[in-house]
Amino acid sequence: MNKKTKTNFKKNLTNFFGAFGYFFCSLLVLWTVILYSNLISGVAGYLSDNKTSHVVRTVTPAVGNPDVGVLQSIVGLVVFVVIIALTMYFLIKIPSTMAKASKKVVREAAESVVPIVLKIEHKAETKKNHLKLTPTLILVLKLILVIIPLILSFLSQFMDKQFIDFYISIMVSLLLAAVSMLFFIFQYLFAKLLSVNKQEIW
């Protein structure tokens, strides 16, 4: 194994744990959105201010037809197969997609914040300072991705109507946050053990 291949292997192994960390972070964020779904739907309904009148329609029962019953069964079977296929696809595709999206968001956010932080610290916006600060900001953003949903999950108990029992919601949130943090800890631990450059960690 040549030096370049060895370096890539170390980097990929380190970021493998990071990918799972981002995945569980994404699940935590989605779970928090679900907890606030009643509030979100209420606000959306208020903003849309739908004043459309509802028309009551009288449905005339259809006369039984054997052919229609068979057709409905076939359509139902096709729909069932399609749903199963889509579920399998999403179970395979979603984890990697969510991890890549989270990584991209965190990386771009860190890159955007660097000039602001350097200005606050009265440091010149050089390439060296940029490269030095970016890994630290990425770590901070990872922590924020875990902590903020946890806080919001805790605050969900004060809503008038909770979509999910508070005990269940907070336990799931804590579990997702703990797993996410565990993968991130493994990521930085392996980075240190394998001497992976901080700039290579995402």
pLDDT at 182: 95
DSSP one-letter string for the chain: --HHHHHHHHHHHHHHHHHHHHHHHHHHHHHHHHHTHHHHHHHHHHHHT--PPPPP-PPPPPPP-HHHHHHHHHHHHHHHHHHHHHHHHHHHHHHHHHHHHHHHHHHHHHHHHHHHHHHHTT----HHHHHHHHHHHHHHHHHHHHHHHHHHHHHGGGSSS-SS-HHHHHHHHHHHHHHHHHHHHHHHHHHHHTT--GGG--
The whole-number average pLDDT for the span 132-139 is 85
User: For 12-50, what is each residue's pLDDT tens digit?
Assistant: 888 888 888 888 888 888 888 888 877 666 555 556 655
Mean pLDDT, range 189-199, rounded to an integer: 86
| pLDDT recorded at residue 178 | 95
The vertex-91 CA angle with 89 and 96, nearest 5°, equals: 95
Lowest mean pLDDT among 58-67, 96-105, 182-191: 58-67
Instruction: Give residue 116's pLDDT.
Output: 85
CB 18 within 8 A of CB 103: yes
Query: Quick one: pLDDT at residue 45?
Result: 59
**φ/ψ (deg, to 5) at 60:** -90, 120
> Average pLDDT in the 141-167 region?
86
pTM of the prediction?
0.68
Please tell me the number of Cα atoms within 13 Å of 59 on its side-chain side.
Answer: 3
Between residues 155 and 1, the one the model is more confident about: 155
pLDDT of residue 177: 94
Question: Which pLDDT value is given to residue 179?
Answer: 94
59-84 confidence digits (pLDDT tens): 555 555 566 666 766 776 777 677 66
| pLDDT, averaged across the chain | 77
Give the integer Cα–Cα distance in Å for 192 and 187: 9
